[in-house]
């Protein structure tokens, strides 16, 4: 199981989910400190996702786009 700690870096319009460290019990080490896992940007009343080191489970969602609502 992957157990990680992340930090959020950004402002009210755009954020990056950044890898910080592994938690106890983690079984995989695939990220390095400072890796951007994904970026979210609010634009035109939508949230745009750009995938970083973290990839979507569905292949049809691999391109940057609108995948989350608020």
* CA distances from residue 37 to 5, 18, 32, 45, 59 in whole angstroms, order as listed: 11, 6, 10, 23, 17
- Per residue in 8-44, pLDDT (tens digit) is 999 999 999 999 999 999 998 999 999 999 999 999 9
**Can you tell me the mean pLDDT for 42-59?**
95
Domain count along the chain:
1
Could you tell me the residue range of the domain that residue 11 belongs to? 4-68
Q: What is the per-residue pLDDT for 68?
A: 86
Per residue, the 3-state secondary structure of the chain, as one string, reads CCCEEEEEEECCCEEEEEEEEECCCCCCCCCCCCCEEEEEEEECCEEEEEECCCCCCCHHHCCCEEEECC
């Amino acid at each position: 199981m992957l157990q990680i700690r992340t930090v959020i870096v950004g402002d009210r319009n755009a954020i990056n989910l950044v890898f910080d460290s592994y938690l106890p019990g983690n079984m995989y080490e695939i990220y390095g400190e400072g890796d951007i896992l994904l970026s979210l940007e609010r634009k035109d009343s939508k949230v745009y996702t750009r995938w970083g080191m973290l990839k979507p489970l569905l292949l049809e969602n691999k391109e940057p786009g609108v995948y989350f609502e608020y």
